[in-house]
């Protein structure tokens, strides 16, 4: 489970890094960028909680 969480966190970071380029490609007028950033932060938080919970258990 930890490996899956780490992979999701890496994917979220990559998406957040390229959110501006993705937004310009789909011509989202910065709306798509905001959505990508919000989902990336959510995935990072959930992944971090999952990893911490597995370490403490």
Span 9-35, pLDDT tens digits = 999 999 999 999 999 999 888 899 999
The stretch 1-5 carries a mean pLDDT of: 78
DSSP characters over 17-56: HTHHHHHHHHT-TTHHHHHHHHHHHHHHHHHHHHHHHHHH
Who wins on pLDDT, 2 or 16?
Answer: 16
Which three-class secondary structure state does DSSP give residue 9?
Answer: helix
The stretch 31-47 carries a mean pLDDT of: 93
pTM to 2 decimal places: 0.81
* pLDDT at residue 56, rounded to an integer: 92
All residues at 6 or more sequence positions from 9 whose CB lies less than 8 Å from its CB, including other chains: 43, 44, 47, 48
């Amino acid at each position: 489970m930890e490996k899956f969480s780490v992979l999701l966190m890496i994917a979220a970071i990559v998406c957040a890094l390229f959110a501006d380029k993705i937004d310009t490609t789909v011509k989202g007028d910065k709306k798509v960028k905001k959505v990508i950033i919000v989902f990336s932060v959510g995935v990072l938080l959930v992944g971090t909680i999952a990893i911490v919970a597995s370490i403490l258990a």
